[in-house]
Structure formats: structure tokens, C-alpha cells
Structure 1
Amino acid sequence: MIRGGDRLGPTVLLCLFGILCESYGSPRSHVEAQRLERKRSIFKREVNCSSDQYFTNGLCCEKCPAGSVVAQHCNATGNKPKCEGCKDGFDFMDHSNGLGKCLRCGTCDEVVGLIEEEPCRKTQNVKCRCKEDYICSDSPCVHCTALPTETGYSALWFLSLLPLILALGCAIYFLCKRRKKKKFQLVKYKEFEMIPIPYPDIDLSGHIIDIADRMTISDVKCFVRKNNMTPVIMDQILHDHLHDTAEQKVQLLRRWYQSHGTKGAFRTLITSLREAKLCAVADEIMKSVEGAENGNTHASVATSGEA
């Protein structure tokens, strides 16, 4: 028995040692666990406080309204604390809060050009503005500077408007220049139109083909339409020579010449072409007709001389 007890001795001692370690270690672990859980719980409650609440002592208390601060915190989450109002003209609080002290009212320093616009109240700080003949030099306005004197202010005003004045002057200058140029061109054109055509009553029957060659079908249509040819006659001529643009031009010009007659026909042709901005075409036709007429005149004189 004694030997058996001797064999069991070390085992018993180990068991006793384990029990003692567990008994000393368990309270410690339990305390740490409780502390960690409490921290987690506090953190959780802090995070879950709404925007109209504030966190204190592990609770979410309702905020005090603007114009007051907390005098005593709430005793349960979601409850209202005891609030204490600020003093008009002495301190203020301009938002809902969980603070324990109001903010001191500011002052309007006349040394820097400020005067009181609205007094300090429970829910707002004092509002200042610059006094007469002063202007804010920063934002928000905490410092004012005196306006320039009348002469200096006028010069400053003029310099600020100088770029606009220069731009306006340039615009007026170029506008007047453009209008003057346009007026000069109009006068020149009218003077040119007043020059009498050398051959006002030339017989154009022998020049119709040459005239048609120097004009496009669009130019011819525009010319005869402007000179009172009816759409019915135009359509008939165009249809009769459906695939021959050259013949269409000739027939349209001949029909116009037949209805107009020799008197004033050449003048009408040249004037209409110039009004249609076809001055180059008009010059070519005048040169061609003038050359042909002068050639015919010389030929007639030579024939008369031989006779």
C-alpha cells in the first residue's frame, strides 16, 4: 500500500498543481473578458447614437436645442438631459449639442472698421458689418479698410473699366470702317450704273448664241424669270429641249428678246446681270457685242468705199 501510494504521489501532486493554477487563473481571465465585453458594448452603443444624440458615459442622450447646453446628462439611452439656456448678450449656442458650456459672444471692433449689425442672442453670435466709407478686406469679414478718396476711387474705377472701354472703342471703329467701305462700294456701283451704255438699242438677234454660251442655264432662267417670262412658257421651252441645255438657253433668250423688242434690250440684259452679281459675265458680253458691232461697222464702211 505504501509503495502504491508512493507511485501515486507524483500524479496527485500534478493534479493539485493544475487545480491551483486554474483557481488562480480563472478570475483573472473572467475579469479581462468582462472588461473586453464592456468595451465592445460601449463602442457598439457609441456607434449606434443617432445624429440628434450625443454619446456620454456609455449612453446616447438627446441633444440640447440651440440656445442651450447640457447641465446634467441623461440616465438612460434615448432620454433627454437637463438643459440650461445661454444668456442673451453674454453667450450663445447656434446649434443642437451635447456641450456643457455656451460660447462667448463676439464683439465688433471699431478699430478695424466694424460696427454691430445684429446683437448677440442665445441662438446666434453677434453680426458685424463695415461702417460707412469702409469695405471688407477678407472673407469672412473680420477686418475693414477705408475706401479710397474721391479722386483715388475715380481713378480706380476708370482703370477697372479701361479694358471694356478699349474693346468697345475697337468694335465701334471697325464697325464704322466696314459701314464706310460698304457705303463707298454702293456709291461706286451706283455711279457705274449711271454711266450710259454705249449701244442702248443694239439688235441682239445675231448675238443670242454667243450670249447664251457665256451664261449658265441657272443664270438664264433667273434672268428671264426676273424679266417677266411666265413659268408656263419656260416649262414649255425646257420640255421641248429636255436633254439639250445649250438649246434651252438659246430658246429662252430668244423668246425673251422677241417679247421685249430691240429698244432697251441690251441695257436691260447688262443691268440685270450686274444686279445679279454677274459683273464678269456682263463685261464679257459687252466686250463681245461691242467688238462684233465695231467689226460690222468697219466692214460696212469698207464696202461703201469700194463701191
Structure 2
Amino acid sequence: MFVSDCRRLRRRSADCTYGTYQHDGKTCCFCPRGYRVLSHCTATDRNDTECQLCDNGSYMDHPNSDLSCQPCTICNSNANMKVKAKCSEYSNTVCGCLEDHYCDKGDHCQICKPCGNLIIIVTVIIIIQIIAEGLEIAEPAQYSVFSLLSSCLSKRCENEVKTKCTETNNTVCGDATPKSSKTTAIVVPILVIIIIIIVVVVLFIIYKRRQETDKPMPKEEEKPLQGVDVDVDINEYLPEIGEHLSWKVMKRVAQHSGMTTATIDNHEISYPTDPRQQTDGLLRDWYQTQGLYKAYPALIKSLCAIKQRRTADEIKQIVEKGEAKKRDINETGHVQ
């Protein structure tokens, strides 16, 4: 083996410490952990594999023949999570729960719950999700509300604590059945009644909003949008288009177009407090999946399908104005 530069190395069959793999009928050496395959062993040098160190933000924790490293996991602070071990070229990020929070989902944990009365906390989660889904509240806001409410309902053991709350388990009381303090016993029923009233009011508002949405559009708006199926590449218009799209609208466009939930959620997790960055990133990813000349008509049609005709018209105006300006430049040779 010899090092070609600070980020690359070549591995020969005589030094295949980490094992071998088959590629185009040749036996090549695995790259070690922390590296990916830059080029497979070739016909001129059948026993040579070139490896490259993983870039920042990615890792590889085992010998491999992959052409790309794995992206590092992001610990979502809005989900009460923290970084226990930073990601390196050789290992993924290790996430843990903040103090007085726990998660019993192991490696599949997505949110840490405050140590407290499980029945009440689960009720709070369900109510928040119902309200958030109806009003299309972003996940970071859901986490914030959840943390605020559930932190007020922390478990109190009337007798001794059998097992303290840890990162992976909730508090266990010595009397086997968790009991609330007298104050909690009074507050909880009142809180439940208030929450029920809030849910009823919110559901009524949602119902009224949907009625408004389902009203027949004026005849002028019912006319099909003209000039959609044209060969226009909207790449240069994406920054301006993004200003007319909210995160929830862009998310619905992506879902309507068949993008995976994981891809969409990745943008939300990457910028938990910046909806503008979330929208711009998802818009650009969505554009790349559509292709040069299919993105424009696909965007307009998706917006119409999710009843966002006004936004569709605004984007049409952006594109038509830009294309008209190009034609003017081509015809006159200068910008007016």
C-alpha cells in the first residue's frame, strides 16, 4: 500500500487487510473504514484499488466497496436530542436525550420525551398532532409546544423512586403505580377540560377553512392556465419562485409529485429553525427530479392540484416576465 496524497490511498492485493470484493471479474481490495472507493482496480493493474477519505459530514464505519460514504445523522435539538459523540470519517453521530428526557426506541429514536406521566404525555402528543395536522404547523413548533406542556406534568412518586429516569427509561416509582401530587390531581382534570375545549374550537376552525377552500371558484379562475406546456427551464427563476412558496406549500408539492417522506424530512431536520432554507433546498431537489423542461408545467399543475392557483399564477408571471425579457434582448440586443 502507498499513500498518493493526504486524502487518498491505494490498496494492493498483497495488502488486502480488510478483505476483497469482485468487480468486472477482477478481485479488488476493500477500502478501510473511513474511506470510500474512488476507482476500482483496473485492467492495467488488476490488483489496485484507489480509496478516498470520507468528506466532512459523511462517514464509513466498515470496510467497503462503496463509491460514496454515508451521510452523518443530525441530532434534532427541537426533539430534545443532543450530540453525545460527533460524527467522524469512521463513525456516525451518536445522539442522546437532554437532561430529564428519555427515549425507549433505541437506534430508531426520533424524539426524546420528558420524564413524566405517560398517559398525560401521550394524550398531549395526540392532541398536538391533531391540531398541527389540521393547521399544518411545522414539526419544530410541535416539538416546542409538546416540551412546554409535558414538562409541566413531570412524574412525582408519592413514595420512594425505585428507578430514576435515564436516557432510555422513564421514572419507575417504588409503589409500582405512579401517583400525582395533590396539586397535580387538581390541575390535570382542569387542563384536560381546557385542552378538549381548545380541540373542539380548532376543529371547528379547520372545518370552516375547508368549507371556504371547497367553494366553487369564480368562472375566470376555472379557466385552465395557459402557457404551461412550454419548453422553459426554470432553474434561473428558482430563487424568485422560492419567495412565493411557503414551506407547507412546497412540502405538499413534493408529496404530490411522489418525493419520499425521508427526502422531505431531511430538509426540515437540516434547517429546523429556518423555513426559508427548508423551502429553497426542497425546491431545488424537486426541480432536479423533474428534469429541465418538465419542472415548469409540473410545478404549475401540482399547485393547481393542491388548490394553490394564486401561487401558480404568481409563478407564471415570474417565468413569463423573464422569458419576455430574454426575447427582448435577443431581438434588440439590449435590456430595456
Q: TM-score range by the shorter chain?
A: 0.3 to 0.5
The structure that has the greater radius of gyration is: 1
TM-score calculated relative to the size of structure 1: 0.36
Higher relative contact order (CA 8 A, sep 6+): 2
TM-score calculated relative to the size of structure 2: 0.33
